[in-house]
């Protein structure tokens, strides 16, 4: 009853894994270079390249029945529809009524009721000279 | 309707042959992947909308995330995808022990991912970088002034849902370890391993997008 | 007549064999009875509303009670009856039979789907007992995030039922792709299968979004995450985008199976080959796809951008076209056929009339300028009842009457059934046509009381709602009455002379494993021009 499945060669698995790790490093490095609006574009391009490698090779879709790749692509298409058409609303508010154009309440009122604290939750005097200490965990 | 003696034990009665059963399982699994894409997709919509409305909030709140932990998690997941794929490769090559080793490595890497996430989350809980109305971190001025609580709402929801999937994946891989050790999965029948492998790669896939979107902004 | 034929109703025996069954036909029956129970409950809530609305003023319900009643009516009807009923009941019973398969692709997943439905139903019952929920079945923020009613149990129930729906869709897709007998190519499939296929594609693609939406709503209530709260920088309209991205395709989940039923009934009861098979098949897929692009037409007064209003309105006009293609195909099928006025056919004819009105009024609502005035009025209520009840429920009743002899092995009293169908038709129009007029004259929906100028129309509507309710009740009782002892048909019965596999190759009721041996396909599903299949009706 055995039937032959295509067995992905070991070399492909190792090459793809190495490429994915390399691209992860690239994307971190590029994020430190200021390219303005292109940063997000490049980050998404790299992520999509990595994703494509995972889907085609690790998830085996390169060699599988093309119906399965169609299903996956369709899922992305519907996600794309959801995002794009929603943005047609959220990006174009205020076309007729300019007063709705501004982002809703950039500075939420409830903040004014909170006491100022430092990174460890200790209250600070708002008019004091304390500077919040640099958190060791963050850059 | 009678089953002939040469029918393998893993062939379910409503299928003609092993090939039909295998292909059906795969089709069902990919349809499930579609549903997962749409589920996470809803949260991606929220991300896109709020990032386009509050770009500075995202840029500044991002400073409060730890790139090193994020990158480490990325490496962990990619490696776990490799070990998962190798587990299947090994069982195809009739090497049960290697397959078990790979599955156990995958399990450990998944656990590491959750461990690193735990470190991140617990620090945020401690300093008050929490979603929505629980946000109380009043640290460096620049993060404070842009109300990053929506950022953290989206951050916790997306990484939380993703983490939940990692945990579920761990459970499934644990079951694979058991079934493989017991001999229920072998070179003639490893469909569940392949299907759970596809799920695991999806988990990796989602993180491939979450990492730059949260940790590498600006 | 062979008394002791094994069929799925009688074999295997015992309650555990039903509770743990993997037989798709038994699972389908359980969905049927669960669905009918909630249809009954939702119907009682509706009659309660109509009783309150028969006269102006708060007659026996306070405004708060009324809010709870219409919310529960909507949520129960939508999530516990209309969405699951046709795929869950008729789809489960018939799909493998129509394909020549022994079961669906994943029988255990099928049972899991049913238990998820049951669990969701329990959450709903809890919600009712705990005092209800008053937000409207749409749960719009910000009211749903602040209402003191039982929003979380109800939305948890919906979340769970969503998974039931997703798993059913997934199962059907795999079944239709992979479990057909040799020779049963896509263009030889019964159109009900195409309908289930389109429905299943929508189910797996759209339902995950309602799942995440309910989660977001629950988190907003529990943890104040702020994503829909303006005070925290969120946007309540975003909730509506999330909600309607699912709920608009959901209405196609509701109607596509109904279209499938009509596509089965009309050729059989006209003894004529279906006209435009490929038109009907592809229009199903078109509706499924276009349905994902139009959700904002539920949000014309929400404050979304004018640009998106235009886009949504424009695309909405296209979604009506494939449906129109179907209506013409069905009419052309009947033309020059030998139409017999059996109960299934009468329901199918009612469907054509009622759904056309419902569909056309949907097009009126697609015009932004009109919708600004008609949104949240009774015009919308009338529109969606014409499509959901005049459409889906009427087709569902027709399907029950068509496949009852096959799945139960008994025949109901056809005269009573025909009279009930007439009662449904008249009662339905009497109830809901006045509501178009009420809406045009400004009567808002979800109001327990109203100004006296609306009293006459509300009164007519309430009167006819009693006729409608009674007719549906008697129709179902008539079906159930046929199950009495000593009323069984000969297992080879094919009373309508249909020629799809479920009729020609299985007994009535079918054997537990469906087929004695795997069927060999001999002709297409509606080849009345090539093959003669005589109706048989013996006890």
Burial label, C18 (beta-carbon count in 10 A; 0-12, 13-18, 19+):
middle
CA distance C250 to chain A (A): 15
Taking residues A123-129, report their average pLDDT.
Answer: 55
Chain A window 19-38: which residues touch B at a Cβ cutoff of 8 Å?
20-21, 24, 27-28, 31
Query: What's the CA angle centered on B150, arms B146 and B154, to 5 degrees?
Result: 135
Q: Would an 8 Å CB–CB cutoff place A114 in contact with chain C?
A: no
**Distance separating alpha carbons of residues B12 and B24, to the nearest angstrom:** 12
Taking residues C168-192, report their average pLDDT.
Answer: 97
Residue C101 has pLDDT above 90, yes or no: yes
> Which residues in chain B show pLDDT less than 50?
1-3
State the pLDDT at residue A127. Answer: 52
Q: Which of C360, C488, C353, C482 is nearest to C422 (CA)?
A: C353
Q: Report the CATH number at residue B152.
A: 1.20.120.80
Q: Which residue of B has its CA nearest to A76?
A: B37
* Neighbouring residues of A112: CB distance < 8 A, sequence distance ≥ 6: none
Looking at the predicted complex, does its ipTM rise above 0.90? Answer: yes
Alpha helices in B54-148 (DSSP H): 55-62, 67-92, 96-127, 141-144
Residue C497 has pLDDT above 80, yes or no: yes
Domain that includes residue B146, residue range: 18-215
Q: How many separate domains does chain B show?
A: 1
Q: Which residues of A touch B6 (CB under 8 A)?
A: 1
Per DSSP, the three-state class of C305 is: coil
Distances (CA, A) of B53 to B22, B48, C114, C538: 46, 9, 42, 71
Q: Which residues of C touch B48 (CB under 8 A)?
A: none
Q: Which of A53, A61, A66, A56 is nearest to A22 (CA)?
A: A53
Please name the member of C105, C216, C229 whose beta carbon is closest to the beta carbon of B24.
Answer: C105
> Taking chain B, what is the end-to-end CA distance rounded to the nearest angstrom?
65
Confidence of residue C212 (pLDDT cuts 50, 70, 90): very high
Taking residues C48-71, report their average pLDDT.
Answer: 94
CA distance B165 to chain C (A): 14
In a domain, B125, yes or no: yes
Confidence of residue A136 (pLDDT cuts 50, 70, 90): very low
* Least confident piece of the model among A111-115, B52-56, B149-153, C399-403: A111-115
Burial label, C529 (beta-carbon count in 10 A; 0-12, 13-18, 19+):
exposed
Taking residues C186-198, report their average pLDDT.
Answer: 98
Q: Which residue of A has its CA nearest to C288?
A: A78
The domains of chain A are located at 1-64, 65-101
State the pLDDT at residue A138. Answer: 37
The hierarchical CATH code for the domain C34-504 is 1.20.210.10
Contact residues, chain B to chain C, C-beta under 8 Å: 1, 13-14, 20, 23-24, 27-28, 31-32, 34-36, 38-43, 45-46, 49-50, 54, 131-134, 147, 149-150, 153-154, 156-157
Kindly state the tokens that stand for C27.
């699972």
In a domain, B12, yes or no: no
Burial label, B130 (beta-carbon count in 10 A; 0-12, 13-18, 19+):
buried
**Distance separating alpha carbons of residues B58 and B41, to the nearest angstrom:** 19
State the pLDDT at residue C464. Answer: 98
**Distance separating alpha carbons of residues C237 and C247, to the nearest angstrom:** 15
Q: Which of C78, C24, C77, C23 is nearest to C46 (CA)?
A: C77
Question: Residue B59 in contact with residue B179, Cβ under 8 Å?
Answer: no
Residue C279 has pLDDT above 90, yes or no: yes
Please name the member of B28, B40, B147 whose beta carbon is closest to the beta carbon of C105.
Answer: B28
Per-residue pLDDT tens digits for C129-172: 999 999 999 999 999 998 889 999 999 999 999 999 999 999 99
* Neighbouring residues of C254: CB distance < 8 A, sequence distance ≥ 6: C78, C82, C83, C388, C391, C392
The domains of chain C are located at 34-504
Taking residues C260-275, report their average pLDDT.
Answer: 97
Per-residue pLDDT tens digits for A81-102: 999 999 999 999 887 777 666 6
CB contacts < 8 Å between A and B, how many?
174
**Distance separating alpha carbons of residues A78 and C337, to the nearest angstrom:** 42
CB contacts < 8 Å between B and C, how many?
108
State the pLDDT at residue A132. Answer: 43
State the pLDDT at residue A1. Answer: 36
* Neighbouring residues of B148: CB distance < 8 A, sequence distance ≥ 6: B57, B60, B61, B64, B129, B135
Q: Which residue of C has its CA nearest to B16?
A: C179
Taking residues C240-263, report their average pLDDT.
Answer: 97
Instruction: List all chains that touch chain A, counting a touch as 3 or more CB pairs closer than 8 Å.
Output: B, C
Question: Residue C211 in contact with residue C220, Cβ under 8 Å?
Answer: no
**Distance separating alpha carbons of residues C44 and C66, to the nearest angstrom:** 13
Beta bridge partners of B186: B189
State the pLDDT at residue B8. Answer: 86
State the pLDDT at residue A115. Answer: 61
**Distance separating alpha carbons of residues B140 and B163, to the nearest angstrom:** 28
Confidence of residue A2 (pLDDT cuts 50, 70, 90): very low
State the pLDDT at residue C442. Answer: 95
State the pLDDT at residue B57. Answer: 82
Picking from A74, A84, A85 by the largest number of C CB atoms within 10 A of its own CB, the best residue to mutate is A85
CA dihedral (B148, B154, B158, B160) positive or negative: positive
* Least confident piece of the model among A34-48, B18-32, C413-427: A34-48
* Neighbouring residues of A82: CB distance < 8 A, sequence distance ≥ 6: B38, B41, B42, B45, C209, C245
């Amino acid at each position: 009853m055995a039937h032959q499945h295509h067995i992905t060669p070991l070399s492909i698995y190792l090459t793809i894994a190495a490429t994915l790790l390399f691209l992860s490093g690239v994307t971190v490095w590029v994020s430190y270079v200021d390219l303005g609006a292109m940063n997000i574009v490049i980050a998404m391009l790299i992520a999509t390249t990595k994703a494509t490698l995972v889907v085609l090779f690790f998830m085996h879709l390169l060699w599988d029945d093309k119906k399965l790749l169609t299903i996956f692509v369709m899922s992305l298409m519907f996600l794309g529809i959801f995002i794009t058409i929603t943005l047609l609303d959220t990006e174009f508010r205020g076309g007729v009524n300019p007063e709705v154009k501004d982002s809703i309440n950039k500075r939420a009122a409830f903040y004014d009721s909170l006491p100022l604290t430092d990174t460890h939750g200790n209250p600070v005097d708002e008019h004091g000279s304390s500077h919040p200490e640099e958190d060791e965990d963050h850059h | 309707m009678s089953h002939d003696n040469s029918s393998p034990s893993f062939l379910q009665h409503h299928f003609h042959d092993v090939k039909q059963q295998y292909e059906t399982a795969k089709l069902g699994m990919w349809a499930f992947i579609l549903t997962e894409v749409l589920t996470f997709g809803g949260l991606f919509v929220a991300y896109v909308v709020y990032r386009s409305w509050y770009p500075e909030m995202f840029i500044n709140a991002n400073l409060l995330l730890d790139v090193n932990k994020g990158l480490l998690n990325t490496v962990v997941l990619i490696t776990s995808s490799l070990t998962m794929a190798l587990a299947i490769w090994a069982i195809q090559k009739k090497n049960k022990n290697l397959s078990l080793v790979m599955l156990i490595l995958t399990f450990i890497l998944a656990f590491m991912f959750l461990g690193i996430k735990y470190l991140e989350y617990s620090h945020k809980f401690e300093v008050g970088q929490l979603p929505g109305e629980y946000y109380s971190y009043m640290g460096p001025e620049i993060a404070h002034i842009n109300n990053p609580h929506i950022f953290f709402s989206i951050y916790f929801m997306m990484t939380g849902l993703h983490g939940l999937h990692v945990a579920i994946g761990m459970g499934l891989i644990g079951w694979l370890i058991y079934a493989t050790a017991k001999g229920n999965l072998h070179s003639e029948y490893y469909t569940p391993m392949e299907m759970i492998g596809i799920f695991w790669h999806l988990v990796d896939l989602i993180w491939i997008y979450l990492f730059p979107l949260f940790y590498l902004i600006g | 007549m062979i008394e002791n034929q094994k069929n799925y109703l009688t074999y295997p025996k015992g309650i555990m064999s039903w509770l743990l069954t993997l037989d798709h036909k038994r699972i389908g029956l359980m969905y049927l009875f669960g669905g009918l129970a909630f249809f009954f409950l939702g119907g009682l809530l509706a009659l309660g509303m109509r009783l309150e609305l028969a006269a102006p003023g708060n007659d026996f319900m306070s405004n708060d009670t009324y809010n709870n009643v219409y919310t529960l009516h909507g949520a129960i009807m939508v999530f516990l009856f209309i969405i699951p009923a046709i795929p869950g009941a008729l789809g489960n019973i018939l799909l493998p039979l129509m394909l020549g398969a022994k079961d669906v692709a994943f029988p255990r997943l099928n049972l899991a789907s049913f238990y998820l439905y049951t669990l969701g139903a329990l959450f709903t019952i809890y919600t009712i007992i705990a005092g209800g929920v008053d937000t409207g079945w749409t749960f719009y923020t910000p009211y749903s995030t602040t209402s003191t009613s039982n929003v979380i149990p109800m939305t948890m129930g919906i979340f769970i039922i969503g998974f039931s729906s997703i798993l059913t869709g997934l199962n059907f897709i795999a079944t239709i792709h992979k479990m057909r007998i040799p020779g049963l190519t896509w263009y030889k499939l019964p159109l009900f299968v195409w309908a289930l296929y389109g429905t299943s594609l929508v189910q797996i693609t759209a339902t995950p979004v309602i799942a995440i939406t309910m989660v977001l709503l629950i988190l907003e209530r529990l943890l104040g995450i702020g994503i829909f709260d303006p005070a925290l920088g969120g946007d309540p309209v975003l909730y509506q985008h999330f909600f309607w991205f699912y709920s608009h395709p959901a209405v196609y989940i509701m109607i596509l199976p109904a279209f499938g039923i009509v596509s089965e009934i009309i050729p059989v009861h006209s003894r004529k080959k279906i006209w435009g098979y490929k038109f009907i098949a592809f229009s199903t897929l078109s509706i499924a796809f276009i349905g994902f692009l139009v959700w904002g037409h539920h949000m014309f007064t929400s404050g979304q951008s004018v640009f998106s209003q235009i886009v949504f309105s424009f695309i909405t006009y296209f979604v009506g076209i494939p449906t129109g293609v179907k209506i013409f195909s069905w009419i052309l099928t009947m033309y020059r056929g030998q139409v017999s006025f059996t109960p299934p056919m009468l329901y199918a004819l009612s469907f054509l009339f009622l759904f056309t009105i419902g569909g056309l009024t949907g097009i009126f609502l697609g015009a932004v300028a009109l919708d600004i005035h008609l949104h949240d009025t009774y015009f919308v209520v009338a529109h969606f009842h014409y499509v959901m009840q005049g459409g889906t429920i009427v087709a569902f009743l027709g399907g029950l009457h068509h496949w009852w002899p096959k799945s139960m092995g008994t025949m109901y009293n056809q005269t009573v059934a025909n009279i009930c169908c007439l009662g449904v038709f008249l009662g339905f129009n009497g109830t809901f046509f006045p509501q178009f007029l009420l809406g045009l004259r400004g009567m808002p929906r979800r109001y327990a009381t109203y100004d006296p100028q609306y009293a006459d129309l509300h009164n007519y509507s309430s009167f006819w709602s009693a006729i409608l309710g009674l007719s549906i009740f008697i129709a179902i009782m008539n079906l159930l009455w046929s199950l009495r002892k000593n009323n069984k048909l000969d297992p080879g019965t094919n009373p309508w002379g249909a020629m799809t596999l479920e009729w020609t190759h299985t007994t009535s009721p079918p054997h537990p494993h469906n087929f004695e041996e795997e069927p060999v396909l001999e002709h297409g599903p509606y080849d009345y021009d090539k093959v003669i299949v005589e109706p048989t009706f013996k006890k």
